[in-house]
Structure 1
Amino acid sequence: MPKNMLLDLQKSLTSRLKPIGGSRAEEWNETIAAQAFRTLWKTGREEEDNRRADGVLLALICMKPQDEFEGMLAAQMIGAHNATMECHRRAMLAEQSFAGRQEALNQANKLSRTFTTLLEALNRHRGKGQQKVTVEHVHVHAGGQAVVGVVEAQGGGGLKKLEDQPHAVRSEDPKREAMPVARDA
C-alpha cells in the first residue's frame, strides 16, 4: 500500500470536527458532512447553494452527535427532512397535476414518519424517552396492601376523606396515616 494511502491514526483520532459527525476520526466526520450535503437540492446558484450547505453543517453541529452512530442518524435525519420538504415543494407547484400532487404528499408523509423513527432511535440511543421508576422503600404491615401504579384523584383534584374510602388501607398502628389504594386492583 502506498505510504500516502495509510491513515495517520494519531492525526485521525484527534478530530476538531467531532461536533459534526461525532467521531474522533477526521475522515469519518468529513464523510458524514459530505453525505448530508449531497441531500440538498442544488439550485445552480453557487452563493445560495453554499449558504444552504452551511445550514446543513450548522444542523449537524446543533444535533451534537456524540459518537459515529449519532453522526449517521443526524445525517439521515437531515436527508429525510430535505427530501420531505422537496416533496412538499413539488406538491405545491401550480402546474402540478392532482395525481402528481397526491404522490408528492404521500411521499412527504412517508418521509416525515421516517424522520420521526430516526429521531426516536436517536433519543433511545441517548437514553431519552425511557421512563425509569425506582422504588426505594415499601412498608406493608400485617393485613395491609400495597399498590404500584397510578392512583387517580377523586372529583375536583383532591382525594375524598379517608373515612369515605372503604378501600383505604388502615394501619394497625394509629400513629400511622391511612393510605388510599386504587380500586379494582
Structure 2
Amino acid sequence: MPKTLLLDLHKALRGALQPIGGSKADDWNEIVASQAISTLWKTSNPADNAKREQGILVGMICMKPHDEFEGMLMAQMIGTHNAAMECHRRAMLPEQPFIGRSEALTQANKLSRTFATLLEALNRHRGKGQQKVTVEHVHVHAGGQAVVGVVEPQGAGGLRKLEEQPYAVRGEDTER
C-alpha cells in the first residue's frame, strides 16, 4: 500500500536557513549542512567540534548559495577540501613510510582536482564560466572580404567549399 505524505508548504518553505543551503525548504538546508558537517574529523574535545561545525555553517553562508544545486556543490566542495587536507596531513606524519606518503599525496592530488572541477561547475552554474575565443591567421587585404564564424568539418571529406556554406560572403573579385 502506498504511503501518503502530507506537507505543510507554508511551514516547509520558510527559508530561514536559505543562506546556508540555498533553498526555501529549511529541511533541505539542514540536510545539506549536516552532510557538510559530517565530513569533519571529530576530536575528543566537544567544544572544538562545535566551533568547527559553526565554521562550516559560516563558510556555507559566506559562499552564498543561490539555490539547492549550489548548496549541494558547496557541501561537496567542503567535503572534498576536508578530505584533501586530511590526506596532506597524513602524508606529513613523521613516521609515515614512503609508500604511505606517496599514496596520501596521490589521493590529495585527485581530491584537489575534484575540488577544482566542482568549483568550475559552480562558476558555470552561476554564469561565470570562461568563454573561449580562438583567433587564427586572418589576412584581409584592401578591398577584400572576410567570413567571420565557425567553419565546421563535414565528415571525412573535410571542409565544405566556401561557396557552399550558407553564411559565405561572395565577392566580385574571383582572384582572391
**TM-score, structure 2 normalization:** 0.73
For the residues of structure 2 that align with 1:66 and 1:84, how far apart are their CA atoms? 26
| Aligned AA (1:107) | Q
- Aligned partner of 1:95 in structure 2 is 95
5+ residue gaps, structure 1, are 134-141, 150-185
Question: Do residues 47 (structure 1) and 47 (structure 2) align?
Answer: yes
- Aligned partner of 2:121 in structure 1 is 121
| Aligned AA (1:45) | N
- Aligned partner of 1:24 in structure 2 is 24
For the residues of structure 2 that align with 1:45 and 1:17, how far apart are their CA atoms? 27
Shift of 1:7: 2.8
> Could you report, residue by residue, the CA deviation over 1:91-138 in whole angstroms, capped at 9, with x for unpaired residues?
1111111111111110000000000000000000000023388xxxxx
Residues 94 and 24 of structure 1, relative CA distance in 2, 3 Å threshold: same
| Aligned AA (2:104) | A
For the residues of structure 2 that align with 1:129 and 1:2, how far apart are their CA atoms? 43
5+ residue gaps, structure 2, are 134-141, 150-176
Query: Percent of aligned pairs with the same residue?
Result: 70
Q: What count of residue pairs does the alignment treat as equivalent?
A: 141
Question: Do residues 6 (structure 1) and 6 (structure 2) align?
Answer: yes
Residues 91 and 24 of structure 1, relative CA distance in 2, 3 Å threshold: same
Shift of 1:62: 1.1
1:23-172 alignment runs, 5 A limit: 23-131=23-131, 143-146=143-146
Partner-residue secondary structure (3-state), 1:50: helix
For the residues of structure 2 that align with 1:69 and 1:146, how far apart are their CA atoms? 43
For the residues of structure 2 that align with 1:111 and 1:19, how far apart are their CA atoms? 26
| Aligned AA (1:64) | K
Shift of 1:14: 1.8
**TM-score, structure 1 normalization:** 0.69
For the residues of structure 2 that align with 1:89 and 1:148, how far apart are their CA atoms? 53
Partner-residue secondary structure (3-state), 1:130: coil
For the residues of structure 1 that align with 2:132 and 2:102, how far apart are their CA atoms? 42
- Aligned partner of 2:172 in structure 1 is none
